[in-house]
Structure 1
Amino acid sequence: MDCKPNTKDCACSYPGCPRHGRCCECVAYHRGKNQVTACFFSPAAERTYDRSIANLARDKGLL
């Protein structure tokens, strides 16, 4: 997938992430795993690396 890097605004803190700053690749990867990308989470929830929809709901106070 051809994707222009956007490392300045990337919220991912996962060490060595091969998709860091490559939003279209990141979305495709996590969508394929039924997950949500880091940019939807608060900084504290993002650092758990739990990209599940349930964790997003907890993070946003929906559960």
Structure 2
Amino acid sequence: MSCNPKVNCTCTYTSCSRHGKCCECIAYHKRNGEVPGCLFSEAGERTYDRSVENFYNDYKNR
């Protein structure tokens, strides 16, 4: 799989060293049992709560 930096990263946590580096971001959150911010709605992403439970609630409320 090729993984190039994503120019239009939707994550608002711009000080993160993995910001815009999709493969690194996904691997990091997977190791921590979390979901990357780019998969949340805008409102859900802004909570910075990357838990699977929060993702489920965010998805359910769309």
Pairwise same-fold verdict (TM > 0.5): yes
Where does structure 1 differ by over 2 angstroms across 4 or more consecutive aligned residues? none
State the percentage of identical aligned residues. 51
Give the aligned length.
Answer: 59
Partner of 1:51: 50
Structure 2 stretches lacking a partner, 5+ long: none
Partners in 1 of 2:24 and 2:55 — Cα distance? 20
Unmatched tracts of structure 1, length 5 or more: none
Shift, 1:39, TM fit: 1.4
TM-score when scaled to structure 1? 0.83
TM-score after normalising by structure 2: 0.85
Asked whether the 8 Å contact 1:6–1:23 carries over to 2, the reply is yes
